[in-house]
Amino acid sequence: MISHLWTHTYHVRLPGSLSSARPRTGMLLRVEWPDLRDGTRAVSGYADLMAWPELGDLEVEEEILALLRGQPTWLGKRAFEMARLDAEARAQSRSLWEGIDEPPLSHYLAGSLQDLEGLDYASLRDREFSSIKVKWSQALSTAQGKQILERNSAFLRENDLRLRIDFNGTGRLNELLQLFSSLPREVIGRIDYLEDPFEAIDLPAWTQFQTQFPEVALYADRVNEDDTALLHLASGWVIKPALQPFESWRARAANEGKACTFTQYLGHAVGAAWAAWAAARSSAQVSGLLFHSQIEGESSFFSEALRAPTSRFPTALLRQGTGIGWSDAEFASISWSPWR
């Protein structure tokens, strides 16, 4: 049972062509529990709540209201659980990073497929990146996508880099079959996996594509635990700690022999830290943990702790704090609005 809930509203701009005209809005949560005390003071824990309504989430304010009504979505439930873990560690003046290995290396988030044009591939290689993640825009035709892939294939090969292409469930089977039938084998060989190439409910499309192109890995993102058919079909799973209970998911992945990639939710630096912590406690492959975004306003200093010149997620400053990272004084330095 909580005694108080405060939120800090932040505005974040995503990297590259993922950025929109206006920044996205999310909220940091500060949750206080009466049963956790530091002397006479009740201890608070911190978490991030970023919502993506276009992918099925409620608006961020509605997520908070659902949480306060005792009917949280998975997003609110996970934020609450993380805030509780953070508070428990702060009550003991310890870091959640104690005894935890470093997180897995991260892929480079380039934005859209078009953002491959002009990338400094040699620099990415020198910075220890092994893969690049891009989004396939619905506005991109199959012919345009084919040209971009073929133009950049040699650069990828020369620098030992591979592509992760995220369709967000918008791919059309006939178009993807046509595309991959026309791509040279060396181009297909530079693709690490396709993420959500089709809608989760379109199992025939997943099956037919995998049958015709068994060498192309298909990964499923934002999948429910009871979507057993899709979980079985997919080559691997994308796990978002902001949305999914990663402990049960990593155990299931191990039992079913599935590869896992952990990704942050593209919200606040605090959320990226939680995703990295979860990935560090799992046997995940190269993941999507780095914080590339720009936070506007008073909470922008949080992101400075996570600026990384390489594919290695920086934990040094987080390990110096308590809980998930940063001090209570740093959290107290930003404005908070009470909800309860």
How do the pLDDT tens digits run along the chain, 340 residues long? 566 899 999 998 877 666 565 788 999 999 998 888 887 788 999 999 999 998 889 999 999 999 888 899 999 999 999 999 999 999 999 999 999 999 999 999 998 899 999 899 999 999 999 999 999 988 889 999 999 999 999 999 999 999 999 999 999 999 999 999 999 999 999 999 999 999 999 999 999 999 999 999 999 998 888 889 999 999 999 999 999 988 888 888 888 889 999 999 999 999 999 999 999 998 778 999 998 788 887 777 888 889 888 999 999 999 999 999 999 999 999 999 998 6
Instruction: Say what the pTM is.
Output: 0.93
**How high is the pLDDT of residue 299?**
75
> Which fold does the domain 108-320 belong to in CATH?
TIM Barrel (3.20.20)
Domain boundaries, the chain: 4-95+325-338, 108-320
Report the distance separating Cα 29 and Cα 230, nearest Å. Answer: 33
The conformation of residue 304, written as its DSSP 8-state character, comes to H
- Which residues sit opposite 135 in a β-bridge? 112, 166
CATH match for 4-95+325-338 among 1.10.10.10, 3.40.950.10, 3.40.50.970, 3.30.390.10:
3.30.390.10
The conformation of residue 198, written as its DSSP 8-state character, comes to S
Sign for the pseudo-dihedral over CA of 328, 81, 54, 163: positive
Nearest 5°: phi and psi at 20? -110, 180
User: Would you say the CATH fold of 108-320 matches that of 4-95+325-338?
Assistant: no
Burial 147-163 (b: 16+ CB within 10 A, else e): ebbeebbebbeebebbb
Report the distance separating Cα 167 and Cα 30, nearest Å. Answer: 34
**How high is the pLDDT of residue 21?**
55
